[in-house]
Amino acid sequence: MASLFKKAKEQAPEKKPSAKEKKVRVTVDIPGFFEKLKRQAFLKQEIKSYEAESELLDDEIKEVGKEEWAKLYDNSGVNPESIMIEAKQGLNTAQYMLLMSDKYIKIDSARAEYLKENYGADIVTETETYEFDQKMVEKYGEVISDLIMNCEQIEENDKEKIIKAVVSNTVAKGTIDKLKIYADKSGVKVADMVDIVKPVISAKNVEYIEASAIH
């Protein structure tokens, strides 16, 4: 019987090497095409510039929103969930929706241990996945496809090397609803806990609303 690994290899799509040679250049002589291409180059560069500025402003307005969200949480003791942040200039309004998600930036094992030690084991979720060691698959591929367990053909010292465990840690789902509890327990503010567990923060529907003139 053919090896499962050999079959998988045969059925895998072929990866074509990327072309490194110099690209063929074609000169187009169509009326107005040069102006269109020039304009598009300008617009693309402007978009890059605006996007960079937008990202900076996004971080700034989210930071302000995070502080206001944390104040509400501290005062009520309940997760405010999404809130509207607004600023006024006369009768004109600029606003956006702040969304504090129950999703968190990935953490390493050291960070996971710190969180568990300070806030309890339930603040971290540990996930284990297992994978084959590539060198062991290459060495025992034919045998593994027939007998993975209790195979005398596999050296005893190599059996433990065939499967690798990969452990990943994440801040546990639902942590955002317990931030006030954790904050009170450790004598800090909710805003401090936000900085510690780092939930994903989004600024949605940013808009400017100009007041209508009254005649």
pLDDT-wise least confident of 4-18, 22-36, 46-60, 121-135: 4-18
CA pair distance 172, 123, nearest whole angstrom: 5
Is a pLDDT exceeding 50 seen at residue 44? yes
Please count the structural domains in the chain: 1
- 20 within a domain of the structure (yes/no): no
- 103 within a domain of the structure (yes/no): yes
Amino acid at 208: Y
CA pair distance 27, 23, nearest whole angstrom: 13
Over residues 89-130, the pLDDT tens digits come to 999 999 999 999 999 988 888 999 999 999 999 999 988 887
Tell me the CA distances in angstroms from 211 to 47, 58, 91, 205, one per residue in order.
29, 24, 6, 18
Higher-pLDDT residue of 106 and 60 is 60
- 136 within a domain of the structure (yes/no): yes
Burial of residue 142, with CB atoms counted within 10 A of its CB: 0-12 exposed, 13-18 middle, 19 or more buried: middle
pLDDT at 142 (0 to 100): 77
Is a pLDDT exceeding 50 seen at residue 198? yes
The residue range of the domain holding 201 is 29-209
- 82 within a domain of the structure (yes/no): yes
pLDDT at 1 (0 to 100): 43
- 33 within a domain of the structure (yes/no): yes
pLDDT-wise least confident of 42-56, 76-90, 102-116, 200-214: 200-214
pTM above 0.75, yes or no: no
pLDDT at 211 (0 to 100): 82
Over residues 159-180, the pLDDT tens digits come to 677 767 777 889 999 999 999 9
CA pair distance 5, 65, nearest whole angstrom: 52
pLDDT at 140 (0 to 100): 76
What is the residue-averaged pLDDT of the chain?
86
- 23 within a domain of the structure (yes/no): no
Query: Mean pLDDT over residues 30-53, rounded?
Result: 96
pLDDT at 67 (0 to 100): 95
- 94 within a domain of the structure (yes/no): yes
